Structure 1
Amino acid sequence: MAVLDIEDVLLGTQTGERYQPVVPPELQQVTFPETVIDSRLVTPGCLFVALRGERVDGHDFVADAVARGARGALVRRDRLAALTLNRPFAVVDTASGAGLAEAGPEDVLLFAVDEPLHALHRLAAYHRSKFTPTVIGITGSVGKTSTKEVTAAVLQRGFRTLKNPRSYNSENTLPIVLLGLTADHDVAVLEMGMYGPGEIALLCSLARPQIGIVTNVGPSHLERMGSIEAIQRAKSELVQALPPDGYAILNYDDPLVRAMAEVTPARPFFYGLDPAANLWADGIESRGLQGISFWAHYGDEAVQLNLPLIGRHSVHTALAALLAARRPGGGGSGRVAGVRSESARLGSWGGP
């Protein structure tokens, strides 16, 4: 678990050119072992972020968070005067560091920011920039959570892997996942949700993925987005954000996803049931509760796989995960043999 200190919080939440904060000696041992946005999830010593939502405002729960053991909180400057806490506290302005010198070693630290959500984004991006994992972003109208789970299951057998807990995939929750990144992590597998245009682009600016998986484009957001084309554009923000030396892993069987190869600077790789895909499957057989069996093809190579996944749709999930795990740019020689190796890892997976 990543641990933030006061310097991290001050450096990470600043805007514009950063100043170097001077943390008094009596506060240099203060750390925040976890960051939360729900006061019910507070753990001793954590950092609470007071987010404003459609129905509730986190500032109304700062006192509850502190009572439960929060050591610090990100709060709006214009809400500070209304806060009443049951513990001594000090206000520290993140823009200047004012108030830090006067803070006592036992004080709860209220970090005054412009907007806690924006400060959380800056803090997550700053924290992400300190490490060099391979980041895999995953989106799609359907199947992104299962693809995230299966991809992480394959990778964590050989690499220290970070993944979203539950469905922490929004602009409020993905930053919390990123703040769990440590130097020990080799890979981060991150599901990215979409409420509207620009959200996936924002998440990518924080997480900086090198590999992107798009499962499909469907009508699940149609009422809000207005058209299937608008949904496609929003989902394509993931592959548009990939670097030129990255890899876009696309579902060839979905024409709207296949077309994203034209808008990504990364190298596209396709998976699906069509032989035109780079990694494709046929001979699919259901074995009931025992899972599925199918032949996986890459170029002239083929291998039969038996996996503990239920349903024909799981073939796409497995193909995407196996292709991501094989690091597509690693060359074509022995590709299917590598897929067999990765599927052996998946075969010993007992589920999320």
Structure 2
Amino acid sequence: MNIMTAAEAAKAMGGTCSGEASFSEVCIDTRSITPGCLYIAIKGDRFDGHDFVAKAFEAGAAAAVCSRDVEADGTIIRVEDTRKALIDLAAYNRSKYQIPVVGLTGSVGKTTTKDMVAYVLGQRYRTLATEGNFNNEIGLPRMCLRLDDSIEAAVFEMGMSNFGEISRLTTTAKPTIGLITNIGVSHIEMLGSREGILKAKMEILDGMDKDAKLVLNGDDDMLRTVIAKNPWRVVSYGIEREDVDFRATDIKQGEDSISFTLSGRKKSWEIKIPVIGIHNVYNACAAFICGAIAGVPASDAIEGLANYVPDARRQKIEDRSGVKLISDCYNASPDSIRASLSVLCQVPCSGRKIAVLGDMFELGDYAETAHRQCGEAVAEKDVDMLFAVGKNAAYYIEGANGKVTSKYFEDKESLADALKNELREGDAVLFKASRGMKLEEVIDKVFSQQD
């Protein structure tokens, strides 16, 4: 952010200021205080930032935002609610800049699509993009506070687990372009149904001008209902349907890349991306369209997609001890598991295709059905073996119904031991589960002694 005075910040947050100071950065953690920053004392479930205000000043903070009295010497901005103050200050900072801002959400593919959008926008603009897990009601405001005169475009990822969260994020970020990748079953435990998930995702419109474009996956059955109701503001893309605004055809999958033709109403473009999986064609289509709306020439967008480098925390393909390893342990949902299974089947190998699947979380009453359906998906694919671990993973085995050699494990230790004995040179193995399963620990145990 550009330099701001404490008085200006207090006004933006609806607070009162005692003292004078200025700053160009905001911190909420005293472990990462930078000299001259504004420290906002956030109260969490297990901590209270007010207890560390004095420490923040000692570390060099120029001012602090508090909702109660504290024993500290320095400029204090007093507000009623420091979380709300963070959001209000972020919204104020965002309002200063008339730049293209892409706000995106969806059940699957948010982070990959966000990164692709950033690569496309980055061909023409100095672009700010959501980092790490800064996609929630604490993280997104902090990203908005990084906007300054040097930034020419931004792309903000918006995550959620319940109603109202996307609405609060979008009214802070004020996207000029909205994007919804798909409507799956992630967070169905809280939202009740796919209809509920759609309703929550559509809150993205709450922070958008009425003439701002909304980019939607036209192959998604739930999003089709939105397209029908808002044809004037929606730009659709897809692979299967012919009535979308942009359609990917002639898809050719290589060992480590995909090429396809993207056709609009009047023009077509040849695109190549350095990742595999049909799901990434959808992601690339969305990124290209967002770039076009933001004024990025098609040739630049194509170059940006060609230069895309996947996030190392997400799906990673590498050779380990003669085995083709597909590590995708960051998160999991039924849709993303199907996509990862497709990648497993596309990876060339001389041996067997092995799927190692752990539990998917936050599915509520749908958990049994979802795991069983994913087991059915394994049976439908060219997969030779299924290893399942976790509380609900036995339903993977039930879904596979004996059509694939399957083994169930109650714990990761026994799974790792079995894989050490089973994997052979030439095999390809996929590891996929929700983040809480920490399936990367199994990978470490299996391959650490073999490398």
CA distance in 1, matches of 2:128, 2:31: 23
- 2:36–2:62 Cα contact (<8 Å) kept: yes
Shift of residue 342, structure 1, vs aligned partner: 1.3
| TM-score (normalised: structure 2) | 0.64
Q: Which amino acid counterpart does residue 278 of structure 1 have in structure 2?
A: D
CA distance in 2, matches of 1:3, 1:161: 20
Q: Which amino acid counterpart does residue 114 of structure 1 have in structure 2?
A: E
Task: Describe the shift of the 1:209–1:266 C-alpha distance in structure 2 as closer, same or farther (beyond 3 A).
Answer: farther
Match of 2:59 in 1: 68
Match of 1:171 in 2: 137
Shift of residue 55, structure 1, vs aligned partner: 2.6
- Could you say which structure has the larger radius of gyration? 2
Match of 2:192 in 1: 226
Shift of residue 262, structure 1, vs aligned partner: 5.0
Shift of residue 153, structure 1, vs aligned partner: 1.0
CA distance in 1, matches of 2:58, 2:114: 35
CA distance in 1, matches of 2:228, 2:185: 22
Q: Deviations over 1:212-233 (max 9, x none)?
A: 0000111110112222211110
Task: Describe the shift of the 1:241–1:278 C-alpha distance in structure 2 as closer, same or farther (beyond 3 A).
Answer: same
- Asked whether 1:180 is paired with 2:146, we answer yes
CA distance in 2, matches of 1:293, 1:179: 37
- Asked whether 1:239 is paired with 2:205, we answer yes
Match of 2:36 in 1: 45
Q: How does 1:134-145 map to 2 (within 5 A)?
A: 134-145=100-111
- Asked whether 1:5 is paired with 2:21, we answer no
- 2:38–2:63 Cα contact (<8 Å) kept: yes
2:248 pairs, out of 266, 272, 281, with 281
Q: Secondary structure at the match of 2:268?
A: strand
- 1:246–1:266 Cα contact (<8 Å) kept: no
Q: Any gaps of 5 or more consecutive residues in structure 2?
A: 312-451
2:233 pairs, out of 267, 287, 304, with 267
Match of 2:177 in 1: 211
Shift of residue 285, structure 1, vs aligned partner: 2.1
Q: Secondary structure at the match of 2:160?
A: coil
CA distance in 2, matches of 1:45, 1:39: 13
Q: Secondary structure at the match of 1:310?
A: coil
- 1:49–1:74 Cα contact (<8 Å) kept: yes
Q: Which amino acid counterpart does residue 134 of structure 1 have in structure 2?
A: P
- 1:161–1:188 Cα contact (<8 Å) kept: yes
Q: Secondary structure at the match of 2:278?
A: coil
Q: How does 1:30-41 map to 2 (within 5 A)?
A: 30-41=21-32
Task: Describe the shift of the 1:341–1:125 C-alpha distance in structure 2 as closer, same or farther (beyond 3 A).
Answer: closer
- 1:244–1:265 Cα contact (<8 Å) kept: no
Q: How does 1:118-133 map to 2 (within 5 A)?
A: 118-133=84-99
Shift of residue 69, structure 1, vs aligned partner: 2.5
Task: Describe the shift of the 1:194–1:265 C-alpha distance in structure 2 as closer, same or farther (beyond 3 A).
Answer: farther
CA distance in 2, matches of 1:259, 1:227: 15
CA distance in 2, matches of 1:49, 1:129: 20
Kindly, what percent of the aligned residue pairs are identical?
Answer: 36
Task: Describe the shift of the 1:240–1:66 C-alpha distance in structure 2 as closer, same or farther (beyond 3 A).
Answer: closer
- 1:76–1:116 Cα contact (<8 Å) kept: yes
CA distance in 2, matches of 1:264, 1:205: 20
Q: How does 1:341-352 map to 2 (within 5 A)?
A: 341-351=300-310
Q: Superposition RMSD on alpha carbons, in Å?
A: 2.4
Shift of residue 195, structure 1, vs aligned partner: 2.6
CA distance in 1, matches of 2:237, 2:194: 22
CA distance in 1, matches of 2:187, 2:207: 21
Q: Which amino acid counterpart does residue 327 of structure 1 have in structure 2?
A: I
| TM-score (normalised: structure 1) | 0.81
- 2:33–2:60 Cα contact (<8 Å) kept: yes
Q: Secondary structure at the match of 1:44?
A: coil
Number of matched pairs: 310
